[in-house]
A and B are shown apart, each in its own frame.
Chain A
Amino acid sequence: MNLSKSPEKLRYLFTTDHRIIGIQYLILALTSVTIGTILSLLMRIHLVWPDRILPFYGPILPEDYLAMVTIHGTIMLFFVLTTAPQSGFGNLILPAQIGARRMAFPVANAIGFWLTATALLILLSSTFVPRGSPISGWTAYPPFSAVASAGPGQGLGMDLWLASIALFAIASSIGGINTLVTIIKLRCKGMTWERLPLTVWGWFTAALLSVLAFSVLLAALLLLFCDRHAGTSFFVPTGDIVNGAIHAAGHPGNGSPLLWLHLFWFFGHPEVYIAILPGLGLTSMLLANFSRRRVFAYRTMIVTTLLIGFLGILLWGHHMFVAGLNPFAASAFAVSTMAIAIPASAKVLSWLATVWRSRPHYTTPMLFSLGFVSLFILGGLSGPILAQPILDEYLHNTFFVIAHFHLIMALAAVFGLFAGTYYWFPLMTGRMMSETLGRLHFWGTLLGAYATFLPMHLTGLMGEPRHYAQLTGVSNAAGHLLAGTLPLNRFITWSAIFLSTAQLFFFANLLYSLFRGSPAPPNPWQATTLEWHPAMHPNFPLEASEIVENPIAVYRQPCQYQPTPTGELFLPQWSPDATVDIKPE
């Protein structure tokens, strides 16, 4: 559908309505994820067949590979996993779930989206400038990222990257503020804190983290910019020689590269939790919804969500164990990192207990939530291994790390997105998504995910490092070590191709259901949370007057079920009738 046609369509494009903005964010995320996926395939293919020629482009050079890795990581982490769950579903669903009509600051909301869109364009534009995109990875460690002559793409490309991420940081802070105020001030009658759905708690914690973390990143970017263009050296040590030229020779000042690592990871670790927290909440809710049960240990889940957010601020050092961090500090960060495994385990246990002997309804959203649990366990458990400095000394920057965060972030969090899409599609379009296509998509993605990312642990253990443009044609004993990983890597590449192809089911399903999908009943899942309240139904927006007549009110925690005359278990948050025997835990 072509927006920006008539003024009527322009109303859709430049709207301040949070639901439309949410959909805009989701579309942005979908475009980004498509680009990111294509890049990941090119990476995989180049890794195992380095001398394949890319049509219309020619051979892929090492710097091209690194540029692809950088853009892949940046796009996927920022423009998919930060926008889609937090800003996308956050706008689309959050106000409805707390019984609010709007976000607290609609205009700021729209501004945030357009900043994000601009940021994405700037990032992509870096591909087309001379010498291409930056090649220093999404973590952009200086001096590599501070000195333009350090490599192709570290000039103009790097500047564009900085600009893009700076805009993104501002947009996310605005979004975070908006979310926080909305949740605190706009909850409807009876929506007390312990009645908030866990999804809302996820958004809330993630928003807190965005507000705290992104401005630190902004400061770091400012300092890096000064190093690049104002001749300072905050991150570049004295007498640093790149390509035979001493950096900022004229100017005094002895910067420390480690300063950047501290600033970046102080932001970076909260950032990855921003990506997963909404998913954690959504999984708890969906598992309970489809097994017609209460969320096991609801209060504890609220506490653990906040705890994960809080601990998430205190363990940035676990990315720096062998980066020159003082060994005693490393020990301390190891402890704080291991500590976070406990609230996470508590969540897993609650999920297991919730579905335990419940004979759930296996709808597609439920399948993806179960998949989330499996992937979170598999990806999460490798966290504590990496958290032990003595083991991280061997595993740091190997594909073991890649495997860890692709399982828990790339796939688990993305499964959260899928579950959300299948679950809330009726609210967006008034139509159901096709179950058959959904099932195909689920099994394809799950198996593809295992086949792609589990073997990466093995190549990691064999010692395959990250950011290696080629595994063949390397001299010395290193060449021997790398060649050993090739057979597994070929398998991984094939699985990655399979995994990405499986995504076609998803897009097919989106298009099909958008136009041909069966019309959705008001509350297809017997959901108990407010976004399914009749008055909230998008297709029949109520008049302000009607709303004032029957204000939405909440009487209980979500996911409390009791038999209805029809035999179904059902008891939404908004239904005033007294519960039979459900005591609030």
Chain B
Amino acid sequence: MDFPFQAASLLPLLPIDASAHGPAIDHHLLLNIWVILALAALAHLILLIGLVARRRPEATSWRVEYLPLTALAVLFAFLTIRAERLWAEARYTGAEPSALQVQVTGEQFAWYFRYPGTDAIFGVTKPQLIDAGAGNPLGIDPNDSHGADDLVTSELVLPADRQVDLRLNALDVIHGFSVPEMRLKQNAVPGMTIHVHFTPKIPGTYAILCTQVCGLGHYRMNANLRVLPPDEFAAWLAAKQKTVQP
């Protein structure tokens, strides 16, 4: 759907909005902010007028309470319904089959990104094999054929305009995978694999932050998200593939 205005432009505070589902969220966020600003202003106005105006016998009519209350109830209900719609769009359904598969793994204090490679299947991993020093930070099992062509990177590189299906997990403690420019946030919980999907739109380099306190390096646990035009992405992927299976 399209909007009368590009919300982000009205709210220069927000980082630019580079995902397909982003504008809808910004729009709704903006609506909310206007609503509560209005409510807060109105409430304070009523308060101040009430304080300065001459004394009057007290109000006793129930209308003073219940009419505004129903109005507020309707307002909040309206916001809830809109929000739930967007949430359902974003989260209720899984990614489409054609989506690009990437595995995101958090550990103190780095993000690792794993592409399934040419066979489009992730190889088996074993905690015992994990050894960042030896270049196997995720513990990919060498005996597993699927694992051979998997490539692991420390920056997330994605093609524009193609849906991505991220499977998030963590090795040690809970981390928070957050990409402000994509309006995306989801905790990576050890022992769970959580899927989130989105479609990057605008090519560029964006920040990936950790938003769940995970230790003394929490503040510097970040990575870059590079969104490339499809052809450049293909080139990059091919180059990478060479490095693992010449």
Q: Which of B59, B79, B209, B214 counts the most chain A CB atoms within 10 A? A: B209
- Cβ of B185 under 8 Å from chain A: yes
Interface pair B224/A390, CB less than 8 Å apart: no
CB distance from A254 to the nearest CB of B (A): 7
Cβ of A137 and Cβ of B213 under 8 Å apart?
Answer: yes
For window 40-84 of chain B, which residues contact chain A by CB distance below 8 Å? 40, 43-44, 46-47, 50-51, 53-56, 58-60, 62, 64-65, 68-69, 72-73, 76-77, 79-80, 83-84
Interchain nearest-CB distance for B227 vs A (Å): 11
A474 to B13, CA, bound (A): 20
In the complex the two chains form, is A330's CB within 8 Å of B36's CB?
Answer: no
Residue in contact with A144 in the complex, picked from B62, B76, B207, B213, CB distance below 8 Å: B213
| Distance between Cα atoms of A493 and B150 in the complex (Å) | 47
Please state if A242 and B108 are interface contacts (CB–CB under 8 Å).
yes
The reply to whether the CB of B28 lies closer than 8 angstroms to some CB of chain A is: yes
Known: A150-B215, A338-B76, A377-B43. Is A323-B14 also a contact (CB below 8 A)? no
Say yes or no: is A447 at the interface (Cβ < 8 Å to chain B): no
- Contacting A481 at CB < 8 Å: which of B51, B53, B65, B180? B180
B interface residue count range (under 10 / 10 to 19 / 20 to 34 / 35 or more) = 35 or more
Per-position binary interface string of chain B over residues 215-226, scored 1 when its CB falls under 8 Å from any chain A CB and 0 otherwise: 111111011110
Which residues of A have CB within 8 Å of B189? 257-258, 323-324
Residues of A within 8 A of B217 (CB): 62
Given contacts A241-B172, A394-B180, contact A346 B108 (CB under 8 A): no
Q: Chain A 211-241, CB within 8 Å of chain B: the 1/0 string? A: 0000000000000000000000000111111
Which residue in A338, A358, A394, A469 is a CB contact (below 8 Å) of B58?
Answer: A358
Residues of A within 8 A of B15 (CB): 462-463, 481
Contact check, A240 vs B191: say whether CB atoms are below 8 A apart: yes
Nearest CB of A to B85, in Å: 9
CB <8 Å contact, A256 and B222: no
- Complex contacts, B77 vs chain A, CB 8 Å: 338
Interface residues of A in 351-408 (CB under 8 A from B): 352-360, 370, 373-374, 377-378, 381-382, 384-385, 387-391, 393-394, 396-398
Q: Is A293 part of the binding interface, using a Cβ–Cβ cutoff of 8 Å?
A: yes
Which positions 297-332 of chain A face chain B at CB distance < 8 Å? Answer: 297, 300, 322-324, 327-328, 330-331
User: Which stretch of B86-94, B114-122, B236-244 is in the interface?
Assistant: B86-94
Q: From residue A372, how far is it (CB to closest CB) to chain B in Å?
A: 12
Contact call B91/A327, Cβ cutoff below 8 A: yes
Query: Does the CB pair B222–A474 fall under 8 Å?
Result: yes
A49 at the interface (CB under 8 A from B): no
Distance from B125 Cβ to chain A, minimum over Cβ atoms (Å) = 10
The interface on chain A, measured as residues whose beta carbon lies within 8 A of the other chain's beta carbons, has a size of 99
Q: Is the interface of B mostly helix, strand, loop or mixed?
A: mixed
B213 CB contact (under 8 Å) in A136, A243, A255? A136
B14–A345 CB distance below 8 A: no
Q: A355-B47, A384-B79 are in contact. Are A296 and B58 (CB under 8 A)?
A: yes
Mask for B85-111, Cβ within 8 A of A = 1, else 0?
A: 011101110000000000000011000
Expressed in whole angstroms, the minimum distance between the Cβ of B21 and any Cβ of chain A is 9
CA distance A241 to B107 in the complex (A): 9
**Is A188 interfacial (CB-CB < 8 Å)?**
no
- Whether A388 pairs with B185 at a CB distance below 8 angstroms is no
Q: Is B124 an interface position by the 8 A CB rule?
A: no
Indicate whether A394 sits within 8 Å of B25 (C-beta atoms), given known contacts A324-B194, A331-B87, A353-B64: yes
Cα separation A420 to B75 with both chains bound (whole Å) = 34
CA distance A155 to B223 in the complex (A): 29
Q: How far is the CB of A1 from chain B (nearest CB, A)?
A: 40
Interchain CB contact under 8 A, A254 and B191: yes
Tell me, yes or no, whether A143 is within 8 Å of chain B by CB: yes
Residues on the A chain within 8 Å of B185, using CB: 322, 393-394, 396-397
With A66-B216, A342-B72 as given contacts, are A356 and B62 in contact (CB-CB < 8 Å)?
Answer: no
Interface residues of A in 458-512 (CB under 8 A from B): 458, 461-463, 465-470, 474-481
By a CB distance below 8 angstroms, the chain A residues around B216 are 61-63, 66, 135, 151-152, 469
Question: Beta-carbon contacts of B1-35 to A below 8 Å, as 1s and 0s?
Answer: 00000000001011100000000010011001100
Does A345 contact B44, Cβ atoms closer than 8 Å? no
B76 CB to nearest chain A CB (Å): 5
Q: Which of A255, A374, A463 has the most CB of B within 10 A?
A: A463
Cα–Cα, bound, A310→B83 (Å): 24
Q: Is B184 engaged at the interface, CB distance under 8 Å to the other chain? A: yes
Chain B residues whose C-beta falls within 8 Å of the C-beta of A137 in the assembled complex: 213
Q: In the complex, what distance in Å separates the CA atom of A300 from the CA atom of B69?
A: 12
State whether the Cβ of B112 lies closer than 8 Å to any Cβ in chain A: no
B224 touches A324 (CB 8 A): no
Q: Identify the closest chain B residue to A351 (Cβ).
A: B47
Is A58 an interface position by the 8 A CB rule? Answer: no
**A357-B56 in contact (CB<8A):** yes
- CB of B89 to closest CB in A, whole Å: 9
Across the A-B interface, give the 9 residue pairs with the lowest CB-CB distance, nearest first: A237-B191, A388-B83, A478-B222, A467-B213, A327-B91, A477-B207, A356-B50, A463-B180, A239-B127
- Jot down 10 A-B pairs with beta carbons below 8 A, ordered by A: A257-B190, A296-B58, A322-B186, A324-B192, A355-B47, A390-B87, A463-B180, A474-B222, A476-B207, A477-B225
Interface positions of B (Cβ within 8 A of A): 11, 13-15, 25, 28-29, 32-33, 36, 39-40, 43-44, 46-47, 50-51, 53-56, 58-60, 62, 64-65, 68-69, 72-73, 76-77, 79-80, 83-84, 86-88, 90-92, 107-108, 127-128, 130, 171-174, 176, 178, 180, 183-187, 189-192, 194, 205-220, 222-225
